[in-house]
Structure 1
C-alpha cells in the first residue's frame, strides 16, 4: 500500500476518534492531545516505506528520528503542564477565560 494512502487513513481514523471522544467526554481538546503524537506516526510510515522499498532511506530515517525527538520533548513539556490530564466535563483547558478564570495579565490586557 502506498505510504500516502496509509497516512490519509491514519489521519481519518485520528479525526474520527477525536470527534467521538469529544462527544463522549464533552472535552474538545482531543486534537491537542493527538497533535503531539500523530505526526510521529506519519513520519515513521514514510520512513518504513522508504526502508522497505530498498532505496537509500537515510534522510527519511534521520528525519523520523528528529521528529520523534522533538515530539518527545514537546510531549514531556505538555505532560508536565497537565495537557494529558482528564478535564471535568464541559471544561476546556485551552481557554480558561471562557470558563470563568480572570483574563491574562500583560501589556496588552487593558
Structure 2
C-alpha cells in the first residue's frame, strides 16, 4: 500500500504566468493563476496538473554540469521530433543537446532554464 499519491509537480521560476503559458502551448490545457500571480496551475487535457511558483532569486539548473545537479527534468512524448522541436523553439525554448539526430530524444531548456526532453513516443 502506498503512503501517498502524487498531487502536482511544481516548478520554481521567476515568472509563473509566462512559464505556464509556455507549457500550455506545448502540452495544451488551461492556465489558472492566483490573483497575485505567485502560483499558477496548468490543468492538462488528461487531468494532470503542472504548477509554477514564483521564486525570488531563482537560478536555473545547469545542464550538463558535472559539478551541479539538474535536480529533475520533464520527458515530453511527441509523435514528430522535428516538428515538436520547431514548435518549442518558436515558443522560447533553447537547445541544450540535440545529439545524434537519429536518437529518440533531444534536450532543451524552457524559458526559465529548466531542462526538458522531447522523446519520440
Q: Which TM class, normalised by the smaller chain length?
A: under 0.3
The structure richer in strand per residue is: 2
Q: Which has the larger radius of gyration?
A: 1
| Structure of higher RCO (CA pairs closer than 8 Å, 6+ residues apart) | 1
The structure richer in helix per residue is: 1
TM-score, length basis structure 1: 0.25
